[in-house]
Amino acid sequence: MSSYKAHLYQIVFGPKLHRPVLIEDNRDLLFGYINAIARNRKCIIYKINGTEDHLHIAVDIHPSISVADFVKEVKAASTKWIKQNDIFPEFEHWQIGYGSFTHSIREKERLIKYIENQKEHHANETFRQEMIDLLKNHGVNFDMKYFW
């Protein structure tokens, strides 16, 4: 028998101190680069989007790679690429941590729409509040002292 899986993750992270350095004009270049990293690891990205201070990635991570290793590789490779290509001049590096949330594959279209609408969503809500809501909605215990 073959192995089967349906893993839908929402990965969220941003630049150091969530500084607003991911300028809109160059984000699509970054998204394309991250998509290439994922393809090389046999992962499927359904959607990447974000604002100047964070990214959301809807992704099916191949079972041969852990979520932590996927995020580590994306952050390390993209940091190097951003600096080599100077697409975000004020970018230093990514934050140390990240958020990882699982979703039912039945929620894929809803999650994609949510990620697509980040600009509109953040017209009314800060990233800090969004992250707190994500943690609460997914039943994650957290300490407010880690929220900038």
CATH of the domain at 61: 3.30.70.1290
Residue 1 is assigned to a structural domain of this protein: no
* Distance separating alpha carbons of residues 49 and 30, to the nearest angstrom: 10
Q: Which residues of the chain carry a pLDDT beneath 70? A: 1, 148
How many other CB atoms are found less than 10 A from the CB of residue 50? 22
* Distance separating alpha carbons of residues 107 and 88, to the nearest angstrom: 32
Provide the token pair at 45.
């990205």
Question: Do residues 62 and 9 lie in contact, with contact meaning Cβ atoms separated by under 8 Å?
Answer: no
Total domains in the fold of the chain: 1
pTM comes to: 0.93
Question: Which domain covers residue 73, as residue numbers?
Answer: 8-140
Residue 145: its pLDDT value, please?
Answer: 80
